[in-house]
């Protein structure tokens, strides 16, 4: 260990930008064994490991780095698996520069952080390849059943822990495939779909009942599910897209980001997608402008490149330093040919005689004083009007919670002023007895790793509730 002075930081090689822009495979190779051992040996085994402190799962990072450096990979996997239901997924898509790696002491000493995410991915990918990932073992049957609404990372993590705890678990999701945004939001070049599906299959094989294509609110009310199950978890994420308010924003060819990404991901699964085939949700041969500066916008611009757009621009109202998306993703997008138009916002859209968008009119922005989020607020520059050719405009302005009390026919379900579910942070229970909530529907749009952490915590809270419920029922009998 402690080799950070002699051994340079080295991430797995990325494929050349022009090659990776041709397909939806992940852009980086996996470490070879020697490289993983070398990179792990750079860790200085801190007494207080800030990497773990800043990992939402508090993964035992220095310990599994040491085991990897010593060639004890199976033990490294077992340790990594103890705190995470999806280590190979987090290794791929966590914004490590803001979490574990961004807080590595070696980064602060100017030597470049230990490449924690890439090692984490290597360890568990190897475990899958070697057959070390064991089938899910359900605990002794407790005779109680739970419903999980939403098969994203929060719901799936909770489902796994509850099944291991001996509960009968039913997962309901309105999509025809499980995985939530891991499956239909995040593109394959960040997270290949087989990586998600093998996790889902492991849960199915472990006896968790999946009800795919089942929309709560349409196929059943919340009360109907409460009658069938001893406890409920709502982990439905946030899906109400924020809209553009500029004149002309209703023209054809101005589309929501998630519709565009879902169509592309479905195509990747080999599904028939009429909106992709008829060109409405397909960037091929189009001048594409994506409005927004978060992870979703980054995924849209890079998807458009892969679909064969004529040009791809990302319009964002703040500058590079003040954008919410990961800097790594911006760099990847630039390498692949995306042009960033910083400090700019749309003011109007023009269309041709058939109603299809042709032009985006915009204005330059200046940064004013910091707003409530701590970032400097953009203000329009009256001198800065411009136009861009645009025959596909993708709106990636963020997501808010849907109106769940109305959707679920549950007026007593208490929400915050942002529409997210209000929970008691001790019990993780909503205003309804036995109904819990976790993930983005509580936090607002967040990260996969936080959803996994919430799934872990809510499963413990539900377990405490269900044990008490059983005692009360026994005493009453």
- Contact range with ligand SF4 by CB under 6 A, out of 89-97, 395-403, 413-421, 437-445: 89-97
Q: What DSSP line would sit under 211-248, residue for residue?
A: EET--BTTTB-HHHHHHH-SEEEE-----EE----STT
Kindly state the smallest distance separating residue 399's Cβ from ligand SF4, in Å: 21
Q: Which of 36, 104, 203, 392 binds ligand SF4 (CB under 6 A)?
A: 104
Question: Which burial class, exposed, middle or buried, applies to 155 when counting CB atoms under 10 A from its CB (0-12, 13-18, 19+)?
Answer: buried
Least Cβ distance, residue 44 to ligand SF4 (angstroms): 4
Picked from ligand FAD, ligand SF4, none, the partner binding residue 91 (CB below 5 to 8 A depending on kind) is ligand SF4
Which among 310, 247, 252, 243 is positioned nearest to 281, based on CA atoms?
252
Rule CB under 6 A: say whether 309 interacts with ligand SF4: no
Alpha helices in 21-72 (DSSP H): 33-40, 50-53, 61-69
Residue found under tokens 């330093």: 321
What is the C-alpha to C-alpha distance for residues 422 and 86, in angstroms, rounded to an integer?
Answer: 27
* Per-residue DSSP letter, 279: S
Dihedrals phi, psi of 308, to nearest 5 degrees:
90, 35
Window contacting ligand SF4 (CB under 6 A); options: 54-62, 278-286, 424-432, 467-475: 54-62
Of 60 and 211, which has the nearer Cβ to ligand SF4? 60
55 binds, among ligand FAD, ligand SF4, none (CB under 5 to 8 A by kind): ligand SF4
449 binds ligand SF4 per the rule CB under 6 A = yes
Residue 99 is a binding residue for ligand SF4 (CB under 6 A): yes
Structure-token pair, residue 137: 């073992």
For residue 385, the cross-strand partners are 363
CB 98 within 8 A of CB 117: no
Cα distances from 331 to residues 108, 298, 302, 365, 465, in angstroms, run 21, 10, 11, 22, 46
Phi and psi (nearest 5°) for 156? Answer: -70, -40
Q: Which does 365 bind (CB under 5 to 8 A by kind): ligand FAD, ligand SF4, none?
A: none
Query: Distance (Å, rounded) from C-alpha 138 to C-alpha 204?
Result: 12
168-173 and 435-437 as β-strands: parallel, antiparallel, unpaired?
unpaired
DSSP 208: P
In the set 106, 233, 357, 393, which binds ligand SF4 (CB under 6 A)?
Answer: 106
100 binds, among ligand FAD, ligand SF4, none (CB under 5 to 8 A by kind): ligand SF4
**Which CB atom, from 52 or from 236, has the smaller least distance to ligand FAD?**
236
Which one-letter DSSP state was computed for residue 96? G
Q: Which does 106 bind (CB under 5 to 8 A by kind): ligand FAD, ligand SF4, none?
A: ligand SF4
Nearest distance in Å: CB 66, ligand FAD: 26
Which of 93-101, 184-192, 314-322, 332-340 is the region at the interface with ligand SF4 (rule: CB under 6 A)?
93-101
Q: Which of 116, 171, 288, 396 binds ligand SF4 (CB under 6 A)?
A: 116
Residue 96 or 236 with smaller CB distance to ligand SF4? 96
SS3 for 409-444 is CCCCCCECCCCCECCCCCCCECCCCCEEECCHHHHC
Nearer to ligand FAD among residue 235 and residue 357 (C-beta):
235
Report the C-alpha gap between 293 and 297 in whole angstroms.
6
Under the rule (CB under 6 A), what is the footprint of ligand FAD?
93-94, 149-155, 172-175, 180-181, 185-186, 190, 215-217, 235-237, 261, 295-296, 299, 439-440, 446-449, 451
- Size of residue set near ligand SF4 by CB under 6 A: 26
- Tokens (6 digits) for 445: 């749009």
Both tokens of 366, joined, read: 């200046």
Max Cα distance, the chain (Å): 77
275: left (phi over 0), alpha (psi -120 to 50) or beta: alpha
**Among residues 21, 27, 35, 61, the one that binds ligand SF4 under rule CB under 6 A:** 61
Q: Is 94 in the site for ligand SF4 (CB under 6 A)?
A: yes
59 binds ligand SF4 (CB under 6 A): yes
Q: Enumerate helices (H) and strands (E) in the chain, giving the number of each.
A: 19, 15
Tokens representing 260 are: 């565009």
Residue 51 binds which of ligand SF4, ligand FAD, none (CB < 5-8 A, kind-dependent): ligand SF4
Under the binding rule (CB under 6 A), the answer on residue 100 touching ligand SF4 is yes
Indicate the helix (H) or strand (E) that contains 106.
helix 105-108
Q: Which does 208 bind (CB under 5 to 8 A by kind): ligand FAD, ligand SF4, none?
A: none
**Nearest to ligand SF4 of 105, 284 (CB atom):** 105
- By CB under 6 A, name the one of 3, 9, 17, 50 that touches ligand SF4: 50
Residue 448 Cβ, how far from ligand FAD at the closest point, in Å? Answer: 4
> Which among ligand SF4, ligand FAD, none contacts residue 96 (Cβ within 5 to 8 A by kind)?
ligand SF4
Query: Which does residue 296 bind out of ligand SF4, ligand FAD, none, counting CB within 5 to 8 angstroms by kind?
Result: ligand FAD
* CA 287 to the chain's CA centroid: 27
Estimate to the nearest angstrom the gap between the alpha carbon of 34 and the chain centroid: 30
> Residue 324: which of ligand SF4, ligand FAD, none does it interact with, CB under 5 to 8 A by kind?
none
Name the site residues for ligand SF4 (rule: CB under 6 A).
Answer: 43-46, 49-51, 55, 57, 59, 61-62, 90-91, 94, 96, 99-100, 104-106, 114, 116-117, 120, 449
């Amino acid at each position: 260990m402690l080799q950070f002075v002699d051994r340079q930081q080295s991430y797995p090689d990325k494929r050349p930008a022009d090659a990776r822009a041709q397909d939806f495979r992940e852009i980086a190779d996996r470490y070879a064994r020697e490289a993983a051992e070398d990179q792990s040996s750079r860790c200085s085994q801190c007494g207080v490991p800030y990497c773990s402190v800043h990992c939402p799962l508090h993964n035992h990072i220095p310990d599994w780095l040491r085991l990897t450096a010593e060639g004890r990979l199976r033990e490294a996997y077992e340790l990594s698996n103890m705190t995470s239901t999806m280590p190979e997924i987090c290794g791929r898509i966590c914004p490590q520069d803001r979490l574990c790696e961004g807080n590595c002491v070696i980064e602060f000493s100017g030597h470049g952080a230990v490449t924690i995410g890439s090692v984490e991915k290597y360890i568990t990918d190897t475990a899958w390849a070697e057959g070390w990932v064991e089938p899910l073992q359900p605990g002794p049957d407790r005779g109680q059943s739970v419903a999980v609404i939403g098969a994203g990372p929060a719901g799936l993590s909770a489902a796994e822990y509850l099944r291991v705890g001996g509960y009968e678990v039913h997962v309901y999701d309105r999509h025809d495939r499980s995985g939530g945004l891991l499956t239909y939001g995040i593109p394959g070049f960040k997270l290949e779909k087989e990586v998600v599906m093998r996790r889902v299959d492991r849960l199915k094989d472990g006896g968790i009942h999946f009800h795919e294509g089942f929309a709560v609110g349409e196929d059943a009310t919340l009360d109907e599910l409460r009658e069938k199950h001893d406890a409920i978890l709502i982990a439905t994420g946030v899906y109400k897209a924020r809209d553009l308010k500029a004149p002309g924003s209703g023209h054809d060819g101005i589309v929501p980001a998630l519709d565009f990404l879902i169509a592309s991901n479905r195509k990747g699964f080999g599904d028939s997608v009429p909106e992709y085939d008829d060109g409405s949700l397909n960037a091929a041969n189009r001048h594409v402008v994506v409005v927004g500066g978060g992870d979703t916008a980054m995924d849209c611009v890079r998807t458009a490149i892969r679909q064969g757009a004529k040009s791809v621009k990302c319009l964002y109202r703040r500058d590079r330093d003040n954008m919410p998306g990961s800097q790594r993703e911006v760099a990847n997008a630039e390498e692949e040919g995306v042009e960033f138009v910083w400090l700019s916002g749309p003011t109007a859209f023009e269309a041709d005689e058939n109603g299809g968008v042709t032009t985006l009119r915009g204005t330059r922005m200046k940064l004013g004083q910091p707003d409530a989020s701590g970032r400097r607020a953009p203000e329009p520059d009256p001198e800065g009007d411009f136009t861009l050719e645009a025959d596909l405009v993708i709106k990636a302005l963020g997501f808010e919670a849907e109106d769940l009390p109305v959707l679920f026919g549950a007026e007593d379900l208490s929400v915050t002023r942002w529409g997210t579910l209000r929970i008691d942070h001790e019990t993780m229970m909503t205003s309804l007895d036995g109904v819990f909530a976790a993930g983005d529907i509580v936090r607002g749009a967040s990260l996969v790793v936080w959803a996994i952490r919430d799934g872990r915590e809510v499963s413990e809270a539900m377990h405490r509730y269900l044990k008490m419920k059983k005692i009360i029922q026994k005493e009453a009998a």
